[in-house]
């Protein structure tokens, strides 16, 4: 199994290190020719969603990646990556890939609570650590999207088909269970 990680901006290195601990092959996606290699799943890391969106267009990565996601390539968006997949950002920002039936709120916890750590139940994984950095949350899900985790009534993880999103950064917790969950999705899609 091989995972492509969008590496134009943000916290892609942390995902690489986590996949290393899971002994999973990965490579960086920085330009269209990187998409010529076969791969089984895509990670959209945390960072700054507005910058990533601009770079995706400038680097001609937007269209091919959107096509792949629509065609069913498993994708895992963390934090800013969640915002890239959302069909709507209700406060401040326009959608990017627009492939997932979730409405997200950007920088949703305000300045005071900009970054925090928590523990909460994740569907099928039990209680796991979660690190939030200027995080969004999901205001509502629709279509086939379903909620995987919530904190204080706010949705922080969801899945729709082969799309998985977390408002938090599992790659910063040292706990690989959400990545393993994603790799299982990739394996299912592959076989
Ligand atoms: N606040 C960032 C945004 O709006 C997301 C933060 C993150 O990815 N850690 O894109």
Predicted confidence (pLDDT) per residue in 63-91, tens digit: 999 999 999 999 999 999 999 999 999 99
Residue whose CB lies within 8 A of the most ligand 1 atoms, among 52, 91, 133, for a mutation test: 133
57 flagged as catalytic: no
Does residue 45 have its Cβ closer than 6 Å to ligand 1?
no
Out of 14, 16, 160, 171, the active site residue is: 171
Does residue 74 have its Cβ closer than 6 Å to ligand 1?
no
Q: Taking residues 157-162, what's their average pLDDT?
A: 98
22 — pLDDT class (breaks 50, 70, 90): very high
Contact criterion met (CB below 8 Å) for 42 and 6: yes
Full-model pTM: 0.97
CA distance 21 to 18: 5
92 — pLDDT class (breaks 50, 70, 90): confident
Beta-carbon contacts of 107 under 8 Å, excluding residues fewer than 6 positions away, are 91, 92, 114, 134, 135, 136
How many C-beta atoms lie closer than 10 Å to residue 14's C-beta?
18
β-partners of residue 27 are 4
CA distance 168 to 133: 7
């Amino acid at each position: 199994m091989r995972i492509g990680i969008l590496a134009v901006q943000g916290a892609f290195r942390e995902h690489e290190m986590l996949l290393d601990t899971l002994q999973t092959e990965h490579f960086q996606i920085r330009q269209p020719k990187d998409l010529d290699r076969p791969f089984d799943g895509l990670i959209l890391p945390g960072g700054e969603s507005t910058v990533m969106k601009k770079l995706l267009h400038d680097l001609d990565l937007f269209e091919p990646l959107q096509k792949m996601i629509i065609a069913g390539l498993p994708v895992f968006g963390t934090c800013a990556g969640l915002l890239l997949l959302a069909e709507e950002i209700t406060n401040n920002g326009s959608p990017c890939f627009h492939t997932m039936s979730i409405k997200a709120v950007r920088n949703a916890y305000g300045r005071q609570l900009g970054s925090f750590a928590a523990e909460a139940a994740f569907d099928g994984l039990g209680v796991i650590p979660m690190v939030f950095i200027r995080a969004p949350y999901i205001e509502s899900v629709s279509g086939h999207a379903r909620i995987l985790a919530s904190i204080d009534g706010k949705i922080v993880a969801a899945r729709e088909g082969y799309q998985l999103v977390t408002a938090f950064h599992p790659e910063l917790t040292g706990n690989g269970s959400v990545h393993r969950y994603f790799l299982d999705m990739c394996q299912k899609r592959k076989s």
